């Protein structure tokens, strides 16, 4: 059974309205409705709070719903997110180092300089976007 249906059943069994449940965990009634209709998924903190107020185990809420597990994995996979950021920063440093070394051996060439600038602009933009994505 998907998490939306489980949340709705658990709420009804605990005798709470959407407004009451929303008030208890500090979200809006619309958010509870969206979760129950699977228009969006709750974050892990909200899932824990819901399991508390509905007196239902986390196991029964989370297991069996692949989409929910995927959502939690993506939103809490800080290690993978840090790796992407580190890779972008590392690529920038390596690029600058390679360009500096190459410029020592290659004769002065406008095309080379232009290519260097273009690559550095793209690399800096990618790094900045990675930082923004982690906002």
Partner 1 sequence: MTGIEIIPAVGGAFLLVGVISVVYQIFQMVVIDARARNLKHPGFWGVFTLGSDNLILYLIGRRRYPVVRMTDADRKEMARRKKVIGVSLAFMAAGAIGIVLYGMLTSSL
Pairwise CA distance, residues 2 & 37, whole Å:
10
Residue (105 or 111) nearer to partner 1, CB: 111
CA distances to 19, 24, 61, 105 from 16, rounded to whole Å, are 8, 10, 17, 74
Q: Is residue 133 a contact point for partner 1 (CB under 8 A)? A: yes
Nearer to partner 1, 63 or 134 (CB): 134
Q: Per rule CB under 8 A, is residue 51 in the interface with partner 1? A: no
Shortest gap between Cβ of 67 and partner 1 (angstroms)? Answer: 17
Minimum separation from the CB atom of position 94 to partner 1 (A): 19
Do 130 and 92 form a contact (C-beta atoms < 8 A)? no
């Amino acid at each position: 059974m998907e998490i939306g249906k489980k949340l709705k059943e658990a709420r009804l069994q605990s005798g709470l309205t959407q407004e009451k449940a929303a008030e208890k965990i500090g979200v809006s009634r619309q958010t509870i409705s969206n979760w129950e209709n699977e228009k969006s998924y709750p974050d892990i903190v909200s899932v824990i709070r819901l399991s508390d107020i509905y007196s239902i185990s986390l196991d029964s809420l989370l297991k069996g719903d692949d989409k929910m597990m995927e959502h939690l994995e993506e939103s809490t996979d800080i290690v993978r997110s840090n790796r992407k950021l580190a890779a972008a920063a590392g690529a920038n440093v390596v690029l600058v180092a390679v360009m500096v070394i190459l410029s020592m051996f290659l004769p002065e060439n406008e095309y080379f300089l232009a290519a260097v600038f273009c690559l550095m602009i793209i690399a800096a933009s990618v790094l900045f976007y990675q930082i923004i994505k982690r906002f």
